[in-house]
Amino acid sequence: MTDVQDIMSSLPDDKIDMIAATSVLQQQAGDIRQTKPNWSSYMQSQMISQEDYACVSSLDKDKKAQAAYLQENAPQCAKTLLNMLSHVSKDQTIQYILVLIDDLLQEDRTRVQIFHDYANKKKESVWAPFLNLLNRQDGFIVNMASRVVGKLACWGQEQMPKSDLHFYLQWLKDQLTVANNEYIQSVGRCLQMMLRVDEYRFAFVTVDGISTLISILSSRVNFQVQYQLVFCLWVLTFNPLLAEKMNKFNVIPILADILSDCAKEKVTRIILAVFRNLIEKPEDAQVAKEHCIAMVQCKVMKQLTILEQRRFDDEDITGDVEFLTEKLQNSVQDLSSFDEYATEVKSARLEWSPVHKSAKFWRENAQRLNEKQYELLRILVHLLETSKDPLVLSVASYDIGEYVRHYPRGKHVIEQLGGKQLVMQLLAHEDPNVRYEALLAVQKLMVHNWEYLGKQLEKDSEKATQGNAPISGKA
């Protein structure tokens, strides 16, 4: 994993897009810096100690004086700032302290260790003061605290403990789904940081983070959020295991749709980078092949052809377009019809592609739908139950009918998987095409039954005849 970490750490911040002065959080931070609290009044009212007053006053100066004081009094600075976060209740002051801490860390990443070292020495949690602030009502406090947590978790030598990590990632994931969240870019930036650390990636998967990213990307979000969330997918795919599992979440179809509509170069670049990782990173060659086929089926080759005609300032885009074009063309050349069919079913985007209506395909491959514990049949049945798309329902119904027609035990298998009941329910569907395909499938289920019954009667009849026949032999 060291090579991955090297790649991550060598990326320039403009590529990470971590600091955008246009974000709501940064705009508000700019305003907050101009409103210094009256620290002497805090001391006079005994809300802070003489020691804390001296420290915060020294930190609240120009950068040069601040750096000099911090270098000489690092433990005291950590003590004062963490102390004040826990004991001051006024929102405006908490906001100011958080901005002060964030600026200190942004100025020099190694300063996160000041906070870690102090907490370790005191045997206290460095995370608790900031994680507690995530429960506040004030949006700025919550998101600036989250930003500081991200820096403490990623820029220091110590990783976040599992329980705190789970809580924090769950919180970030939930914030992504808050309707009209004005701080969504800040949430995205925290995830961009966190997912560069390999150990944090698996924790994100356990809170169902990938599904959330895909769900948001499949809805309409602005290009900046699109870029940030696709970036999160990109860093996740540097882990070979996650790269192999990624398309189970329908990543390729969703990103292919965004690529076809995308007007922003940075979004194009990061999607192509994800696609490249999905082919390069899996250690299982079969998975990489399946990813190629999925991209072909999602019309990625057409987009690559269009991109080849455009001029890009970014060499990465040109390199990725060439790489993907070669890989996808190679995958098409040795693509069997069953590979094509399996990838289409797994994508859940069924359409009337040639394999469905090919009698030769079903004669040769019907039995292969039993592979991997009926994986493809289970997906077809699941689509009958969950899809709202009439085209998907029509094709799934047809495929189940053809499977039953060409595989002797098909009716039994479909009944066991709950498919027969679902097909029969579609007889009442509002769409006439769905009703028609469901009717054909039901007929195939029934006819298959009659043929089976007829064959059984013939066998019984033959047995009976043989049983009554005279025994021939030599006298």
Asked if residue 82 lies in contact with residue 59, where contact means CB atoms within 8 angstroms, the answer is no
* Rounded mean pLDDT, 327-346: 84
Domain boundaries defined on the chain: 17-155, 365-456
How much is the pLDDT for 35?
87
Confidence of residue 344 (pLDDT cuts 50, 70, 90): confident
pLDDT digits (tens, 9 = 90+) for 427-439: 999 999 999 999 9
How much is the pLDDT for 132?
94
Where does 239-370 have alpha helices with state H?
Answer: 240-245, 251-261, 265-280, 285-297, 300-309, 315-333, 337-347, 359-365
How much is the pLDDT for 179?
86
The CA–CA distances, whole Å, from 408 to 50, 77, 283 equal 87, 77, 37
How much is the pLDDT for 434?
96
What is the C-alpha to C-alpha distance for residues 121 and 462, in angstroms, rounded to an integer?
A: 89
* Rounded mean pLDDT, 160-168: 95
Q: Is 17-155 a domain of CATH 3.90.350?
A: no
Q: Is 365-456 a domain of CATH 1.25.40.150?
A: yes
What is the C-alpha to C-alpha distance for residues 109 and 259, in angstroms, rounded to an integer?
A: 35
Asked if residue 100 lies in contact with residue 70, where contact means CB atoms within 8 angstroms, the answer is no
Sign of CA dihedral 110, 112, 113, 114: positive
Confidence of residue 87 (pLDDT cuts 50, 70, 90): confident
pTM, two decimal places: 0.75
How much is the pLDDT for 271?
96
Residue 348 region, left (φ>0) first, then alpha (ψ -120 to 50), else beta?
left
How much is the pLDDT for 316?
85
How much is the pLDDT for 193?
95
Tell me: pLDDT of 473 over 70: no
pLDDT digits (tens, 9 = 90+) for 173-225: 999 999 889 999 999 999 999 999 999 999 999 999 999 999 999 987 889 99
